[in-house]
Chain A
Amino acid sequence: NAGVMQNPRHLVRRRGQEARLRCSPMKGHSHVYWYRQLPEEGLKFMVYLQKENIIDESGMPKERFSAEFPKEGPSILRIQQVVRGDSAAYFCASSPTQGLENTEAFFGQGTRLTVV
Chain B
Amino acid sequence: KQEVTQIPAALSVPEGENLVLNCSFTDSAIYNLQWFRQDPGKGLTSLLLIQSSQREQTSGRLNASLDKSSGRSTLYIAASQPGDSATYLCAVKGRANFGNEKLTFGTGTRLTIIP
* Cβ-defined contact, B51 with A102, below 8 A: yes
* Nearest-CB residue, chain A, relative to B4: A42
The contact sample of 28 A-B pairs, CB cut-off 8 A, is A33-B101, A35-B103, A42-B106, A42-B107, A43-B44, A44-B105, A45-B104, A48-B100, A93-B103, A98-B99, A100-B31, A100-B101, A101-B31, A101-B51, A101-B52, A101-B53, A102-B32, A102-B49, A103-B32, A104-B34, A105-B46, A105-B91, A105-B101, A107-B44, A108-B43, A109-B43, A110-B43, A112-B41
Q: Which one of B52, B103, B108 lies within 8 Å of A105 (CB-CB)?
A: B103
Q: Which one of A35, A59, A103 lies within 8 Å of B101 (CB-CB)?
A: A103
Contacts of B42 in A (CB 8 A): 109-110
Is A18 located at the chain interface by the 8 A CB criterion?
no
How far is it, in angstroms, between the C-alpha of A98 and the C-alpha of B31 when the chains are bound? 12
Q: Mark A69-106, 1 if CB is under 8 A from B, else 0.
A: 00000000000000000000001010100101111111
Is A22 located at the chain interface by the 8 A CB criterion?
no
Q: Mark B80-113, 1 if CB is under 8 A from A, else 0.
A: 0000000001010100001111111111100000
Top 6 A-B pairs ranked by shortest CB distance? A109-B43, A42-B107, A107-B44, A101-B51, A43-B105, A42-B105
How far is it, in angstroms, between the C-alpha of A6 and the C-alpha of B43 when the chains are bound? 10
How far is it, in angstroms, between the C-alpha of A111 and the C-alpha of B49 when the chains are bound? 25
Given A42-B89, A42-B108, A112-B41, A104 contacting B102 (CB threshold 8 A)? no
Question: How many residues belonging to A are interface residues under a CB distance threshold of 8 Å?
Answer: 29
How far is it, in angstroms, between the C-alpha of A109 and the C-alpha of B40 when the chains are bound? 11
Interface residues of A in 30-74 (CB under 8 A from B): 31, 33, 35, 41-45, 48, 55-56, 59
Given A56-B100, A107-B43, A43 contacting B31 (CB threshold 8 A)? no
* Cβ-defined contact, A31 with B101, below 8 A: yes
Contacts of A55 in B (CB 8 A): 99-100
* Cβ-defined contact, B32 with A91, below 8 A: no
* Nearest-CB residue, chain A, relative to B99: A98
* Cβ-defined contact, A98 with B101, below 8 A: yes
